[in-house]
Homo-oligomer: A and B are copies of this chain.
Amino acid sequence: MKSKITLKDLAAILGVSVSTVSKALSDNPEISLPTRKKIKQAAEAYNYIPNNIAQSLKAKSTKTLGVIIPAILLEFFSKVLYGIEIEATQRGYKIVICLSNELLKKESESINTFITGSVDGIILSLAEETQRLKSYNHFQKAQQYNLPMVMFDRVVEEIPCDKVTVDDFEGAFNATKFLHELGERKILFLNTIHSITVGVLREQGYVEAMKSLKLDPQVLRLENYNQIEKELTKMLQSEKFDAILAAEEYSAALAMNVARLNGLHVPNDISVMGFTNGLLAEHAIPSLTVVSQHAEFIGRSAVKLLLDRIENKLPEEPVHKVIKTRIIERNSTKHKK
């Protein structure tokens, strides 16, 4: 039941001054070796633990990074978070997490919290609402206060800060070509996330690839998952598609189900492909061929960028790191002949 012991307590017990104790514990050579040893032993014995709030106040650094993610139940984000935590811990930083739940207001509040001095920097991915409303004042505010910030995955051009993104355009472009090489010609792009940049870029990548292949791009844009079954069934019944490329994992899994409900065999009758290499993709039956974004790596890269920025190891102008995607071939697409 002992209450926490302080430097001062320790100094009193040992009959030395506070500064001597402080110096001894940080192995300052100013203090003689024997006293250092004595003080360290006492600290150990009394279970002394420095108060890092006080240290932070003094040092004006908290060794803590703030993270704002739109949703933790999207596996992509929990994977990124995993990468962030690993890298941050490795470099001696803690992380504070806030969820925006795709809302501008929560995102903005979280930034306010972080500005109050509790973190040394911010890592974030934009909420859907923020992207839709294009409201970026809160980011500018963070910058006014000189709080370093790195955006990942869902980023915004207008704010000059370090960024980590995936090459979504190229990923979709390559995925489309991949399907084409499998012999698929009539390819449908299913976009449930067209209100966020990521979704826009993927769609563009698909469209450009189709054009370059002299094929007609066909896009089905939907507002939410509930519509998929109805709308996709309509499409599938009106014409025969060779393949569906979905803008994310979840809708890819749903698309497979809908195809099956319409009597189509995946992949014999129709190939299905998605984005994000998660549990769902791995364990769906058939397992999903996907464009992997290396989520964990994105997280680690974001932390590296942020800490390098904090430690002034980066050039003044913002760095934009683009992570290459990779196609993971599984059983929801025809096999190469």
Contacts and interface: CB of A to CB of B under 8 A. Distances in A.
**How many copies make up the complex?**
2
A81 B72 CA distance: 8
Interface in A93-119: 94-99, 106, 112-113, 115-118
A313 interface: no
A1 B72 CA distance: 33
A136 interface: no
Contacts of A279: 75, 250, 279-280
A82 interface: yes
Nearest to A5: B145
Nearest to A296: B73
Contacts of A230: none
Contacts of A117: 4, 49, 51-54
Contacts of A75: 73, 75, 279
Contact of A145 (B49, B82, B85, B260): B49
Contact of A72 (B56, B82, B113, B145): B82
Interface string A241-263: 00000000010011011001000
Contacts of A54: 57, 117
A285 B285 contact: yes
B64 A72 contact: no
Interface in A121-138: none
Contact of A96 (B4, B94, B146): B94
A62 interface: yes
B95 A97 contact: yes
Interface in A280-295: 280, 283-285
Interface string A48-92: 011111101100001010000000110100110110011001000
B116 A52 contact: yes
A116 B283 contact: no
A283 to B, nearest CB: 5
A35 interface: no
Contacts of A256: 285
Contacts of A227: none
21 contacts: A1-B144, A4-B145, A49-B112, A49-B115, A51-B57, A52-B117, A53-B57, A54-B57, A72-B85, A73-B78, A75-B279, A85-B98, A85-B99, A94-B113, A94-B118, A95-B97, A97-B97, A253-B283, A256-B285, A257-B285, A280-B283
What are the 4 closest A-B residue pairs judged by CB atoms, nearest first?
A51-B117, A52-B116, A78-B78, A53-B117
